[in-house]
Chains A and B, each alone.
Chain A
Amino acid sequence: MNMNKLSFAFFIILSLSINVAFFVGDIDNPDHHSAYELFVAIVVSLIATVLKFGEHSQIGAMLLATSLAADLCLISAAIVWGAAVHVLDVGLTPEMMASIVSLSGGALVANLVSVALLMLETVVVRR
């Protein structure tokens, strides 16, 4: 067992799970989507990204790219949230909420790709 691989797999899958947790619910209903979940999703996704820094292999580079994409989507969602509440002062209108949740949906796709790549690597490199 490789501690590096274990921690990376853990963070990748955790980031997918929390992403799903945030994503599930009516797309424009603020009550169905918790800010805490988004926060944890961002933190976990960032850690997963950093864990893949400086990886030489092709699959490592792909994993870094997908988790960077996920980070970008989640951070955009957080920025939209902050802007809606504090900058534009419109509050969490259904339009805003829909935008935030769909951005996290984008991150979800990236996370799914990450997990798929992880599976692929596990299957290819049988040790």
Chain B
Amino acid sequence: MIVQRQLRATDTFIFLLLRRMRAPLIVLIVSFSISILGFVLIPGVDDQGNVWHMDFFHAFYFTSYMATTIGFGELPYPFTELQRFWTIVSIYITVISWLYAFGTIISLLQDSTFRQIVKESGYSRYIRRIRDPFYIICGYGDTGHMLLHSLTERGYQAIVVDNDPQRINALPIENHPVYIPGMSVDAEDSGHLKKAGLMHPMCAGVAAITGDDKANLKIAITVKLLNPSLQVVCRAESQAIADNMNSFGTDYIVTPFRNYASLLSIALHSPVQCQLYNWLYGLSRTVVAEKIAPPSGFWVICGYGRMGKALHQRFTEAGMEVMVINKNAKVAPPGTVAGKGTEAHTLEEANIGRAVGIIAATDDDTDNLSIIMTARDLNPELYIVIRQNSYANEALFKAANVDFIMQNSFMIAREATAYFTAPLLGRFLSQMVRRSNADAELLLKRIQAAVADGEAPSTWGVDMTDVGAAGACSWLRSGKRLSISDLLQEFSHHGEEARLMVLTVVRDGIEHLLPADSFNFSEGDQILFCGQRGHKRHMRFWLSDQVALNYSMQCFEQEQATLKETSA
């Protein structure tokens, strides 16, 4: 059994094929030899009427074309009656055995386990050949879809694992820019994760984002035990599971309810900070619209589940007056109105007329939509926050034209993408939140200037190491300087300013927030960039290619020299 497990999938495939072909091949050999022997032994007559014995050469020739039903005729001389009799017998035994062999091959090709093996061997061959960093996505629901889309859009490879074969079968018909291998296996099994490339040197991270918290936990443990250097992003809906994941060093845990609650409370305090958060975290190519900030005052929250609880806590902390509507008033805080919130009288009982905003946070999309429609009728001035549970209802929520949509899968996908592609972003934003509103506004203006036409800026991280920036490293090692202004000069075109900025540089664990243009890079720096999408690829190339970097730096020096001469 151990030997079998170590065999590669391709070998298993060939062994299975050969083993199943044993019986048909033996039948074929035996029937051919009987037929050939018969033709050799039976006397024939040549064109002069002499007795003539077929030799093995002619017998094999005749049997070959007879058995395969090609049938060239009676060669080299017309057959005698006895030969024809033997031909009849031979046709039946050889043609039947031939068909039997073919039938076995075809049924083998249609066999589901066999097809599984062929598929798996295809994947493992593909995964072995990957030469770029790739991510393993466990769970391919709405969240998986979004994450896969945003990762492939950023030029990363991904491998999808989900135990629902229907979701995996849908992969090839969804138009992805690159081939995405999808495995319909249980990601909780460490063997399956290994097959998906867990131990591959180019594997950069694993996203455990199935709908099941326990499964995510198991995946996180597996990854941290087998390949601790990998980045793991986990989805956790419950706090207990999140704490558990945290205990063994899961790199990033997304608890979507809490994230939305804190985002809304940041928005209440400082709309600019929220805007900054949305911009930097935004999945790119979405146009960032100016959103009116949520007003302070009296809020109504419909639904007191995990999300309702998180929101209630944050809003009371933020000093808002909050009224909860919940089906079961006993589990909710005192003063709660019992009901769904979909009927006008419940909303009126909760004083909707006096409220500045309403949050529809139940786990039923139809209920949420119904709540906001009714509430809007009663009080058209309301600021509306709605929870969207399923991506399938996207069109309805767009048409509802609300102020703020909370969609768990969207939150998870964008947090995971940001963590994978720009790990410093989370740290940077938590630093920014502590700063004043004026600082945030200033930064927002700078970012606005750095990107064109309201397109969301792209953020990405670069490590000044031999892996990501070999050219720059050898440049720095030779004692020369590389500053932010050099970088900006490389990316400016025809006198226009570069659409690029450095958000933060981490050196030896110390953060340099928004460094000045004169800042000099050194080896080992972790840098967080923000700017136009197209610059990312250019920068990766420029920093890793020594020749390109040396050439540009020499050009800059010469330009500066001529500038000095002309001014003198």
A residues with a Cβ closer than 8 A to B are 35-36, 39, 43, 46-47, 50-51, 53-54, 56, 78, 81-82, 85-86
Contact = CB atoms under 8 A, between A and B. Distances in A.
A8 B18 CA distance: 16
Contacts of A78: 56
B55 interface: yes
A47 B36 contact: no
A88 to B, nearest CB: 13
Q: Looking at chain B, what size class is its interface with the partner chain?
A: 20 to 34
B19 A39 contact: no
A84 B40 CA distance: 18
A85 B56 CA distance: 11
B117 to A, nearest CB: 13
Interface string B6-29: 010000000111111110011001
Nearest to B12: A56
Given A35-B55, A35-B56, A85-B55, A54 B29 contact: no
Nearest to A38: B56
Given A35-B56, A54-B18, A56-B4, 18 more contacts: A39-B36, A39-B37, A39-B40, A43-B29, A50-B21, A50-B25, A51-B22, A53-B19, A53-B21, A53-B22, A54-B16, A54-B17, A54-B19, A54-B20, A54-B21, A56-B3, A82-B57, A86-B57
Interface in B78-124: none
A53 B21 CA distance: 8
Contact of A53 (B18, B29, B37): B18
B33 interface: yes
B55 A50 contact: no
B30 interface: yes
A43 B57 contact: no
13 contacts: A39-B36, A39-B37, A39-B40, A43-B33, A50-B22, A53-B25, A56-B4, A56-B7, A78-B56, A81-B56, A82-B56, A85-B55, A85-B57
Given A39-B33, A53-B18, A53-B19, A47 B26 contact: yes
Interface in B23-71: 25-26, 29-30, 33, 36-37, 40, 55-57
B29 A50 contact: yes
B56 A47 contact: no
Nearest to A46: B29
A15 B40 CA distance: 21
Interface string B352-370: 0000000000000000000
B22 A54 contact: yes
Contacts of A46: 29
A71 to B, nearest CB: 11
A82 B21 CA distance: 29
Interface in B443-471: none
Contacts of A82: 56-57
Contacts of B29: 43, 46-47, 50
Contact of B15 (A43, A50, A56, A85): A56
A39 B18 contact: no
Contacts of A56: 3-4, 7, 15
A53 B16 CA distance: 9
A82 B26 CA distance: 24
Nearest to A43: B33
Contacts of A43: 29-30, 33
Contacts of B21: 50, 53-54
A40 B253 CA distance: 71
A92 to B, nearest CB: 12
A39 B35 CA distance: 12
A53 B19 CA distance: 6
Identify the 8 closest CB pairs spanning chains A and B, nearest first: A54-B19, A54-B18, A53-B18, A43-B33, A82-B57, A50-B25, A54-B15, A46-B29
